[in-house]
Structure 1
Amino acid sequence: MHEASRPPDPAPSSAAIAVRSLQAHEHARWDAFVDACPDATFFHRAGWKIIMEQGFGHDSHFLYAEQDGRIAGVLPLAHVRSRLFGTSLVSLPFCVYGGIAGGSPAVRLALDDAAQALARRHGVGHLEYRWREVEENAPESADACWLQKPLYATFRRPLRVDAEQNLLAIPRKQRAVVRKAMSAGLHSSIEHDLSLFYPIYAASVHRLGTPVFARRHFSLLRTVFGTDCDILTVYHGQQAQASVLLFYFRDEVLPYYGGGTPLARSTGANDFMYWETMRRACERGCHLFDFGRSKLGTGAYDFKKNWGFTPQPLPYAYQLVRAKALPEVNPLNPRYALFIRAWRHLPLPLANLLGPHIVRQLG
């Protein structure tokens, strides 16, 4: 598997470390660091500052540590204010990964100190880092009291160069579903607008009892990330049955927002959608498939395991600031069961109108 080139060796520990806030003219500089930093992710990119501010109306604090005139580490943060769930400073809301990327222990500690100072200054309930892998990146602060709440796992696996090898790497039972969909004549296309994707996605999350993002959110993602954000749609004849919005980062592909019509389950369109994502990603030169996070004990978690992916627990870390306990913002929480049932029964147009106002408070 291709590995990103490592950034230059860290400056000596004696060099002064300055923590600064990302400015509009510095996006290219920030992204150059992120692209070269092995532990950075797509969700560390500077474009998420635009998404947080313009898409959700959340104040953002994209911090970077500078040493000897160069960026040595980054920490993207957003301030989520919610009347329903309290306030938090999160790296990063609506994203599966976050936290500090890059840097020596001193650099990471400087960024963490700055984040904790921000959290106290704004009086948030808690500070949250969405680590993908915490061992190498966690700031070595003896004073911090970090909490863990095992809730999610991520699913990542290398891709082979040859499409047939990737197909054979799928467990037999799941592979049979994909082959059946192929035989049924399903095919895919890369789309350049949201006209098919959004109605399929919105209806799909409504059936799950989940508030939907605004259409503008996806339009903004396409604008901000350009060719690193695609939409793949699966058809049976001329009928669109499933659609997914993809992210590309270095040599990785991340199918991030996906949905299918009620017919997609019987035709295998949902399964075929992820297969086509793999196949097309290989053609693009990708070497890693990131299936994203799922909650432990859910159908989505089992679905990804059925594809032969090994779950990797996500070690998200939380530090209480003003809150006495972490909020249980989780659809598996029994207290939300009634809300989920009621949301499913809302007329779809009304759900699509109300959903964006609720989902922006979830993070």
Structure 2
Amino acid sequence: MNAPAELLIDTAAGSARVTTPAPREIWWELAAQDGGSHATQTPAWLDCLCATGSYRDSSRLYAFEDGSRMVLPLVSRARRPQRLDAVESWPVGWGIGGPVTPGGVGLRKARVLFADLADRPALRVGVRFRPGDAETWEKAVPAEFRLEPHMTQVLSLDGGFGTVWDQRFRTRARRDVRRAERVSLNVQVDRTGRLVPVFHQLYEQSIERWAGQQHEPLALARWRRRREFPGQRLAAVAARFGEACAIWVAWHGGEPAAAIVVLRQGGQAKFWRGAMNRELAHPVRANFLLHQLAIEEACEAGCRCYDMGESTPDSSLAHFKAGFGAVACSSPRYFRERLPVSRAEHGLRTAVKRVIRFQDV
């Protein structure tokens, strides 16, 4: 880890003392005080990213004149010159980042943070903000930052599991949970990493299914999915999060049918990854039972939200999540580039999709 450096920044919106990388003990302290902090906004998540990719810790602690503090999780590319660097919270595929802000963040402090990011020498700077904070950041964002819209589906756990089951689960979801309960499914939950190989077995089967659905060559699908989710990544997350990382697996007839990974931080539970053998899982509605059990456990643990992540609007996955009562919430990403790299990358991806007749599902 780099030795922390301290500097004073003075912007049109105000000043702050910045320490980078952010001291871990202070970061954990602020995350514990911030009831809205996600597992993906913790030092453990950054460590997993750095352990499974070519990244380095560039997190920033802001100390303001009124005594308040906030941490912005950030990584940059290892072994890359600053002018060609990408400083992000987080890179694509790593989910929601954004500041950890006990007590919330006012407009002035939001502008200080953006001014500091705009001043970074990197080729690209980007931050994906969590749901609930979007309005403040929208008002504070300077003109040189572009909006990349994202939505994440979130289930409120207010009122406890009884209320969630009766008032937020849709009729079909309750019916499918009951159907799964009548089948001889064996459900295990692992908090040690023991079931990581089982998850990856199902994930490889899922890649084959997704490739067929999307009209994507299997070799390309495997390369793309494994680049986005390397084999060692789940093991790294399970090792660093410990009890806060639960791998739920449903077995049918002695074979793994479906699995989900749920992370927890404070009052937030997050469905992070899922995989299944559709031929085994779908007829017995295994995924409905796994999510019901994970949601019930999150309620018992005192969580206020169950974040089900992002999915393509109006897709079958989006409808599946809505069946549990998950509501789409804005989770915008703002980024600034000195050269139009993202536009070129998007154009290349679009061209490849057109050639292979890729279909989003």
Alignment TM class, shorter chain as reference: 0.7 to 0.9
1:238 aligns with 2:254: yes
Alignment of 1:110-189 (within 5 A): 110-118=112-120, 121-124=121-124, 127-132=126-131, 133-138=133-138, 140=140, 143-150=142-149, 152-159=150-157, 163-169=161-167, 170-189=169-188
**Equivalent residue, structure 2, for 1:308:** 325
| TM-score (norm. length: structure 2) | 0.77
Gaps of 5+ in 1: 1-12, 342-363
Cα–Cα, structure 1 residues 338 and 266, in superposed 2: closer, same or farther, change >3 Å? farther
Alignment of 1:169-248 (within 5 A): 169=167, 170-191=169-190, 192=192, 193=194, 194-209=196-211, 210=221, 211-212=225-226, 213-248=229-264
Amino acid in structure 1 at the alignment position of 2:123: G
Report how far residue 334 of structure 1 moved.
6.6
Question: In structure 1, what is the Cα distance between the partners aligned to 2:186 and 2:346?
Answer: 38
Alignment of 1:1-363 (within 5 A): 17-22=16-21, 26-67=23-64, 72-79=69-76, 88-93=86-91, 94-102=93-101, 103-118=105-120, 121-124=121-124, 127-132=126-131, 133-138=133-138, 140=140, 143-150=142-149, 152-159=150-157, 163-169=161-167, 170-191=169-190, 192=192, 193=194, 194-209=196-211, 210=221, 211-212=225-226, 213-262=229-278, 263-323=280-340, 326=343, 333=350, 335-336=352-353
**Equivalent residue, structure 1, for 2:216:** none
Question: In structure 1, what is the Cα distance between the partners aligned to 2:68 and 2:241?
Answer: 22
8 Å contact 1:252–1:286 — kept in the other structure? yes
Amino acid in structure 2 at the alignment position of 1:190: V
Whose helix proportion is higher, 1 or 2? 2
Question: In structure 2, what is the Cα distance between the partners aligned to 1:339 and 1:224?
Answer: 39
**Equivalent residue, structure 2, for 1:351:** none
Cα–Cα, structure 1 residues 162 and 89, in superposed 2: closer, same or farther, change >3 Å? closer
8 Å contact 2:99–2:129 — kept in the other structure? no
What's the Cα RMSD here? Answer: 3.2
8 Å contact 1:74–1:111 — kept in the other structure? no
Q: Aligned pairs, how many?
A: 319
User: Percent same amino acid among aligned pairs?
Assistant: 16
8 Å contact 2:86–2:122 — kept in the other structure? no
> Residues 193-232 of structure 1, C-alpha deviation per residue, up to 9 Å, x if partnerless?
1131221123213421341322211111112222211111
Gaps of 5+ in 2: 1-11, 79-83, 212-220
8 Å contact 1:19–1:114 — kept in the other structure? no
Report how far residue 41 of structure 1 moved.
2.6
Q: Name whichever of 92-101 and 170-179 sits farther off.
A: 92-101
| TM-score (norm. length: structure 1) | 0.76
Report how far residue 322 of structure 1 moved.
1.5
Question: In structure 2, what is the Cα distance between the partners aligned to 1:34 and 1:340?
Answer: 44
